[in-house]
Structure 1
Amino acid sequence: MIQTDGAFGRPTRHAPPLLNARHAEDYWQQATRCIDLVRRKMASVDRPFTGAHPEELKRLFEGIDLDAPLGELRPALEELERVYLDDAVYFHHPRYVAHLNCPIVLPGILAEAILAPINSSLDTFDQSAGGTFIEQSLIDWTANRIGLGQDADGVFTSGGTQSNLMALMIARDHYGAALADHGDNKHEGLPADYRRLRILGSEVSHFSLQKSAAILGLGYQAVMPVACDDHFRMDPAALKARLEECLAMSLIPIAVVATAGTTDFGSIDPLEEIAALCRAHGIWLHVDAAYGGGLLCSRRYRHRLAGIEHADSVTVDYHKTFFQPVSCSAFLVRRRSDLRHVTHHADYLNPLCQAEAGTPDQVNKSLQTTKRFDALKLWLTLRIMGADALGEMFERVIDLAGEAHDELARHPAFEVLLDPPMSTLVFRYRPADLCETELDELNAYVRAALSRNGEAVIAATRVDDKRYLKFTLLNPDTRLEDLTAIVERIVHHGRAWCEAQAPTRAAAS
């Protein structure tokens, strides 16, 4: 047989670099080199981002010919370090406080090292075997933590957007199936009155509601925003008024989406009151707990999810507040029979007779066919660390958000929007004598300067058409000293901007 220069060197016709018994030792050696590269990069990172601009990174790819392979691992890793790792955004750094990206626990990473090479596909039992039961066990565990009852079920998904899409699709089809003159949407398409269907969510709910409505053939106009209170929680009185408005206009509300952890504010809608209204009107209640789902593991803050047990369906993102690698998420329903709306039997994959015989094929509950074994990450985490440890990590960032709020609230040059309900803090730098347009420009400049200099990565949003900055805290290793240092740099860059604008402002006055 013609030999190769390593399983991941130059392949020949007779020995392609496939992971198998013949190449097990090569796999070990090459994987170790990859792990060592990551180890060295993680150990040397001294800032969350280098500040590289898109155009600067784009130039690194000039001259790379994907039809001219490098042939060996070493030069490929050297190239990868240059085009990716050197300028990656490192979520584990304590001064990355931008989006809902968490540092990840070691058991989750170790699970990736197992699930990737075995490469199980969890759509059918005959491709995954025990993996099916691991995923199902975690669905049952999560449903129990939520309090959905013994008939609950669900499936792992790619993330909150897919889970929310599934929720609204099932709510739509649940309505269609109940019509006396309509078979079901899968076979007959949308009912004649589909243009009157409405989805109600708070005015700060996730944008995936609009995306889902469009995908489901209902259009953006189907999503009716419900006003919030001063703490950016859905106002039950406003929801009641919206439902009455629907009745008066002959519109058909098919779902209410309550949010347990809004992206911008971390606010949790009053789930008990919303659930009562949904029961009174016979409307599907979906709770988007993609962010707030981590409270299910918290002993001190679990009560903030009171009422979630009344939901018809729930979204949970383990790759946010359970500290798991992307992607790791789930969609759950109170009644397992509702998952029939996503089921389709194919003779070559999941025939009906197989389901009738009791074979647990996850594809019967999923929008995806091929399904990665993402459940292994949470499984290994729970088996090694336990749920309490995850809850304590989330509690630390919630506590930190409160401490940071108190510090900023005492600072005369900062405006803090609200006491954080979870781990997100919304504020802006507001020195005296600046108009709203200038404040917007100032805060945009500050955020860009922090990133460009590699000092910190923070987020931004708009509230009442005003620009605000945002700390999204998901790193238990971040300390108040880190946030204080970021605030000091905000003040530094803000003063520099004001000094640069002073001549222009003086001339204008």
Structure 2
Amino acid sequence: MPKESQVHSSHFIRDFKLILDNCSPTSSPYFIGHMTSSLPNFLLELAKLITEKNQNLVKVETSKSFTKMELDCLYMLHNLIYQNHDYFYSEVNLNSQFSLGSFCSGGTIANLTALWAARNNLLGPSKNFQGVQSEGVVAALRYYGYKNLAVIVSERAHYSIKKSVDILGLGINIIHTIPTDKDHKIRTDLLEQKMNELESQQIKVLTIVGIAGSTETGHVDDLLTMSIIAKKYQCHFHVDAAWGGATMTSARYKHILKGIEQADSVTVDAHKQFYIPMGLGMILFKKPQLSKNITHHANYILRKNSNDLGRFSIEGSRSGMSLMLYVSFKVFGLNGYELLINESIEKAKQFSRMIKESKNFQLITHPELCILTYRYLPNKIQKLINRDNNDYIHTKINDLNVKIQEKQKQNGNSFVSRTKLFNYQYGYTMDVFRVVLANPLTQEKHLKKILHEQEKIGQNLFDTLVKFTEKECEYN
């Protein structure tokens, strides 16, 4: 930190300009590699107001009207997911000891909160036991007679689940990963098989985690079947809908998330498909009473029987970012968000058709929401693979796609991300391009240019990387 102010320093002005000039162009219609997008212009003015008011949502004394506003947001989101009657929410408003959920910085903290609540609920106080909060995990397992706990997820689960069990002192080895099917959804037959296996070993399943919009492919698990299995084995059912939660605004596509209303808790990120700036997520509880398991108090700030929101959250001090979501709800309304969601999914379907119609690309995962994957695969190599499915060819194709993605990023004209996916057709792991088509500014003309650039890069790299003989490449 400089000793004196450098506001008027030429070095500061240069450095500040350098920072701004080299920001990632997340609003660009060509930047389709990650879960970022252009944002509504009115949020810029709201950001100024939030800074000016500088509210702290940990306590009513520092956020009077903002506390009420945030509770209204939670009500609207909870109703979107669970669709309870008005009298349900009237009763919740009359009881300050429970909460519909809480706001946080994002999906990682929301998932952690869900597992925290599930743990404390399962291993809560009893006759001669003060609960896991007071006596710890080892004493809780001994008291309840469990050899261990388990968290069940699919192989597409977000990495925040590992972080969560680590932080909660449960150890990442309690995570049991269930394979997915060819559509990248959890295999519910193997899920139930695993539940039986763990039960026979006196291992209690703490939580089954369903995914509503996986990070890599955007697919949604069979949430309804998972909820039935969770109920059968009497365990907590959590849905990570950080990406896909906003799909519930669409009358046309919300059926994809059927079963989410059965979840004991749901994670939703406002900074994804609700088009809010980075840093705003939510955890929602089906039964507000679940929030009591994570309540904490402090004499100087979070007193019992108060309306302080900080009693139910991991984070203490929080800004008034939720104002952006509240205003966005009022500006867009349900119909506005439905239009955005529908358009993004239709755009992904359109792009998938463009890829399938191209001779030099191969669609790997079909879009269920607005995420899809594909790879560069020249037509002459497609024919070669159909004839001779060998490791050498696949390795070279993977290398080629990695180089294309790196070169495209280096050029700076457009950006797609990449990931690795196991392909059941060929029986090996592929390096593939991954795109997220949530930006309303992205149009067909932009997608065509992105494919054209990848094709051009691929053609230039093909001969140097693949080195097939002329006879092999001309095989018909």
Q: TM-score range by the shorter chain?
A: 0.7 to 0.9
Partner of 1:225: 177
Q: Displacement, 1:110?
A: 2.3
Q: Deviations over 1:213-261 (max 9, x none)?
A: 1111111111111121211111221211111111122211010010100
Deviates more, 1:408-417 or 1:156-165: 408-417
The structure 1 residue matched to 2:29, chosen from 85, 94, 99, is 94
Residues 148, 244 of structure 1: alpha-carbon distance in 2 compared, 3 angstrom cutoff = farther
Residues 68, 436 of structure 1: alpha-carbon distance in 2 compared, 3 angstrom cutoff = farther
Identity of aligned residues (%): 24
SS at match of 1:439: helix
Q: For residue 436 of structure 1, what is the amino acid of its counterpart?
A: H
Between the aligned partners of 2:331 and 2:221, the Cα distance in structure 1 is: 33
Q: For residue 138 of structure 1, what is the amino acid of its counterpart?
A: C
Q: Displacement, 1:500?
A: 2.7
For the pair 1:482 / 2:423, whether they are aligned, the reply is no
For the pair 1:237 / 2:189, whether they are aligned, the reply is yes
Between the aligned partners of 1:251 and 1:172, the Cα distance in structure 2 is: 14
For the pair 1:187 / 2:151, whether they are aligned, the reply is no
Q: Deviations over 1:33-61 (max 9, x none)?
A: xxxxxxxxxxxxxxxxxxxxxxxxxxxxx
Residues 74, 399 of structure 1: alpha-carbon distance in 2 compared, 3 angstrom cutoff = farther
Q: For residue 325 of structure 1, what is the amino acid of its counterpart?
A: P
What pairs up with 1:184-333 in 2 under 5 angstroms? 184-190=131-137, 191-193=140-142, 196-333=148-285
Partner of 1:130: 65
Q: Deviations over 1:244-294 (max 9, x none)?
A: 111122211010010100001110111111111111111101111000011
What pairs up with 1:106-117 in 2 under 5 angstroms? 106-117=41-52
Contact in 2 for aligned 1:261/1:422 (Cα 8 Å): yes
For the pair 1:139 / 2:74, whether they are aligned, the reply is yes
Partner of 2:298: 346
The structure 1 residue matched to 2:437, chosen from 465, 473, 478, is 473
Q: Displacement, 1:66?
A: 3.7
Partner of 1:493: 457
What pairs up with 1:339-418 in 2 under 5 angstroms? 339-352=291-304, 355=305, 359-418=306-365
- TM-score of the superposition, structure 1-length normalised? 0.82
Between the aligned partners of 1:240 and 1:502, the Cα distance in structure 2 is: 44
Contact in 2 for aligned 1:295/1:302 (Cα 8 Å): yes
Q: For residue 292 of structure 1, what is the amino acid of its counterpart?
A: G
Where does structure 2 lack aligned partners over 5 or more consecutive residues?
Answer: 93-98, 385-391, 423-428
Q: Deviations over 1:420-464 (max 9, x none)?
A: 101111011122157122112111111111111112111110012
Partner of 1:61: none
SS at match of 1:370: coil
Between the aligned partners of 2:66 and 2:233, the Cα distance in structure 1 is: 40
Between the aligned partners of 1:344 and 1:247, the Cα distance in structure 2 is: 32
Between the aligned partners of 2:337 and 2:308, the Cα distance in structure 1 is: 30
Q: Displacement, 1:181?
A: 5.2
Between the aligned partners of 2:223 and 2:43, the Cα distance in structure 1 is: 31
Q: Displacement, 1:76?
A: 4.3
Q: Displacement, 1:383?
A: 1.9
What pairs up with 1:25-36 in 2 under 5 angstroms? none
Between the aligned partners of 1:311 and 1:423, the Cα distance in structure 2 is: 23
Partner of 1:423: 370
Where does structure 1 lack aligned partners over 5 or more consecutive residues?
Answer: 1-64
Contact in 2 for aligned 1:409/1:416 (Cα 8 Å): yes
Q: Displacement, 1:67?
A: 4.0
Residues 178, 201 of structure 1: alpha-carbon distance in 2 compared, 3 angstrom cutoff = farther
Partner of 1:454: 412
Residues 302, 423 of structure 1: alpha-carbon distance in 2 compared, 3 angstrom cutoff = same
Q: Deviations over 1:47-87 (max 9, x none)?
A: xxxxxxxxxxxxxxxxxx744531349974553122x1111
Between the aligned partners of 1:230 and 1:181, the Cα distance in structure 2 is: 49
Deviates more, 1:459-468 or 1:66-75: 66-75
Residues 406, 178 of structure 1: alpha-carbon distance in 2 compared, 3 angstrom cutoff = farther
Between the aligned partners of 1:454 and 1:252, the Cα distance in structure 2 is: 50
Between the aligned partners of 1:192 and 1:303, the Cα distance in structure 2 is: 39
The structure 1 residue matched to 2:400, chosen from 442, 467, 470, is 442
Q: Displacement, 1:299?
A: 2.6
Q: Displacement, 1:296?
A: 2.0
Q: Deviations over 1:271-330 (max 9, x none)?
A: 111111111111101111000011122232122222111110000101000111111211
SS at match of 1:319: coil
Q: For residue 15 of structure 2, what is the amino acid of its counterpart?
A: E
- TM-score of the superposition, structure 2-length normalised? 0.87
Contact in 1 for aligned 2:396/2:465 (Cα 8 Å): no
Number of residue pairs aligned between Structure 1 and Structure 2: 437
Q: Deviations over 1:190-215 (max 9, x none)?
A: 12357610000111111111111111
For the pair 1:81 / 2:17, whether they are aligned, the reply is yes
Q: Displacement, 1:180?
A: 6.0
Residues 457, 502 of structure 1: alpha-carbon distance in 2 compared, 3 angstrom cutoff = closer
Contact in 1 for aligned 2:224/2:258 (Cα 8 Å): yes
Partner of 1:39: none
Partner of 1:48: none
Between the aligned partners of 1:200 and 1:75, the Cα distance in structure 2 is: 53
Between the aligned partners of 2:127 and 2:215, the Cα distance in structure 1 is: 39
Between the aligned partners of 1:238 and 1:250, the Cα distance in structure 2 is: 18
Q: Displacement, 1:378?
A: 0.6
SS at match of 1:462: strand
Q: For residue 156 of structure 1, what is the amino acid of its counterpart?
A: F
The Cα RMSD (Å) is: 2.1
Q: Deviations over 1:338-380 (max 9, x none)?
A: 112222211111122xx1xxx3100111101101111100111
